[in-house]
Amino acid sequence: GSYSVRKIVWNPAWIPPDRAWARDKVAQGPGDPENPMKVVKIFFREPDFFIHGTGATGSLGTAASHGCLRMDPDEAGDLALMLMEDTGISRDWDWVRDILHMGESRTVSLRQSVPMQVIE
Protein backbone atom coordinates (compact mmCIF):
# COMPACT_ATOMS: atom_id res chain seq x y z
CA GLY A 1 0.00 0.00 0.00
CA SER A 2 0.84 3.67 -0.12
CA TYR A 3 1.43 5.49 3.15
CA SER A 4 3.05 8.63 4.58
CA VAL A 5 5.56 8.93 7.39
CA ARG A 6 4.97 12.00 9.55
CA LYS A 7 5.97 10.98 13.08
CA ILE A 8 8.91 9.23 14.73
CA VAL A 9 9.12 8.23 18.40
CA TRP A 10 12.59 7.67 19.81
CA ASN A 11 12.96 5.32 22.78
CA PRO A 12 9.25 4.46 22.72
CA ALA A 13 7.27 2.73 25.43
CA TRP A 14 5.27 -0.34 24.43
CA ILE A 15 1.68 -0.75 25.49
CA PRO A 16 0.08 -4.08 24.57
CA PRO A 17 -2.74 -3.54 22.08
CA ASP A 18 -6.27 -4.59 22.89
CA ARG A 19 -5.97 -7.80 20.88
CA ALA A 20 -6.24 -11.46 21.80
CA TRP A 21 -2.57 -12.19 21.07
CA ALA A 22 -1.47 -9.53 23.60
CA ARG A 23 -3.86 -10.49 26.41
CA ASP A 24 -1.10 -11.72 28.78
CA LYS A 25 1.50 -9.11 27.80
CA VAL A 26 2.58 -6.28 30.11
CA ALA A 27 3.56 -2.75 29.15
CA GLN A 28 7.28 -2.01 28.79
CA GLY A 29 8.76 1.42 29.39
CA PRO A 30 11.27 3.30 27.27
CA GLY A 31 14.61 1.51 27.24
CA ASP A 32 13.33 -1.63 28.97
CA PRO A 33 15.27 -4.64 27.60
CA GLU A 34 11.94 -6.48 27.12
CA ASN A 35 10.45 -3.61 25.10
CA PRO A 36 9.82 -5.03 21.59
CA MET A 37 10.05 -1.58 19.97
CA LYS A 38 13.73 -1.12 20.86
CA VAL A 39 15.24 2.26 19.80
CA VAL A 40 12.60 3.83 17.55
CA LYS A 41 9.20 3.49 15.97
CA ILE A 42 8.37 5.19 12.69
CA PHE A 43 4.63 5.60 12.12
CA PHE A 44 3.34 4.92 8.63
CA ARG A 45 -0.33 4.36 9.50
CA GLU A 46 -1.27 5.83 12.84
CA PRO A 47 -2.00 4.72 15.40
CA ASP A 48 -1.42 1.01 14.89
CA PHE A 49 1.19 0.40 12.20
CA PHE A 50 4.82 1.42 12.25
CA ILE A 51 8.39 0.39 11.56
CA HIS A 52 10.29 -0.58 14.68
CA GLY A 53 13.36 -2.44 15.81
CA THR A 54 13.28 -5.96 17.17
CA GLY A 55 15.53 -7.90 19.49
CA ALA A 56 14.67 -11.05 17.52
CA THR A 57 16.74 -10.17 14.47
CA GLY A 58 16.96 -13.84 13.53
CA SER A 59 13.23 -13.75 12.79
CA LEU A 60 13.51 -10.88 10.30
CA GLY A 61 12.04 -11.82 6.94
CA THR A 62 9.36 -13.99 8.52
CA ALA A 63 5.75 -13.17 9.37
CA ALA A 64 6.29 -12.55 13.07
CA SER A 65 4.53 -9.21 13.52
CA HIS A 66 0.91 -8.12 13.77
CA GLY A 67 1.00 -5.44 11.10
CA CYS A 68 4.25 -3.62 11.83
CA LEU A 69 7.47 -3.79 9.84
CA ARG A 70 10.40 -4.97 11.96
CA MET A 71 14.05 -4.12 11.39
CA ASP A 72 17.40 -4.47 13.05
CA PRO A 73 17.25 -1.75 15.77
CA ASP A 74 20.35 0.09 14.50
CA GLU A 75 19.08 0.03 10.92
CA ALA A 76 15.68 1.33 12.07
CA GLY A 77 17.52 4.14 13.86
CA ASP A 78 19.57 4.94 10.74
CA LEU A 79 16.35 5.05 8.68
CA ALA A 80 14.67 7.39 11.18
CA LEU A 81 17.69 9.71 11.17
CA MET A 82 17.66 9.74 7.34
CA LEU A 83 13.94 10.58 7.29
CA MET A 84 14.52 13.42 9.72
CA GLU A 85 17.49 14.71 7.71
CA ASP A 86 15.46 14.53 4.49
CA THR A 87 12.81 16.80 6.02
CA GLY A 88 15.28 19.33 7.45
CA ILE A 89 15.77 18.02 10.99
CA SER A 90 19.45 17.26 11.48
CA ARG A 91 20.34 14.92 14.36
CA ASP A 92 22.92 12.20 14.89
CA TRP A 93 23.51 9.09 16.98
CA ASP A 94 24.94 11.19 19.84
CA TRP A 95 21.53 12.88 20.08
CA VAL A 96 19.83 9.46 20.09
CA ARG A 97 22.19 8.13 22.78
CA ASP A 98 21.35 11.14 24.98
CA ILE A 99 17.64 10.30 24.70
CA LEU A 100 18.29 6.65 25.50
CA HIS A 101 20.47 7.63 28.47
CA MET A 102 17.70 9.86 29.88
CA GLY A 103 15.27 6.94 29.68
CA GLU A 104 12.56 9.07 28.14
CA SER A 105 10.69 9.01 24.84
CA ARG A 106 11.04 11.82 22.32
CA THR A 107 8.50 12.41 19.55
CA VAL A 108 9.60 14.09 16.33
CA SER A 109 6.98 15.42 13.91
CA LEU A 110 8.44 15.64 10.43
CA ARG A 111 8.14 19.01 8.72
CA GLN A 112 6.65 17.32 5.67
CA SER A 113 5.31 13.86 5.09
CA VAL A 114 7.55 11.29 3.46
CA PRO A 115 5.79 8.94 1.02
CA MET A 116 6.24 5.24 1.65
CA GLN A 117 5.32 2.22 -0.46
CA VAL A 118 4.97 -1.23 1.09
CA ILE A 119 5.44 -3.90 -1.55
CA GLU A 120 4.97 -7.58 -0.89
The count of other CB atoms within 10 Å of the CB of residue 107 is 10
Please state the pTM of the whole predicted model.
0.88
Are the beta carbons of 45 and 80 closer than 8 angstroms?
A: no
41-95 tens-digit pLDDT: 999 988 878 999 887 777 666 666 666 788 999 999 999 999 999 999 999 999 9
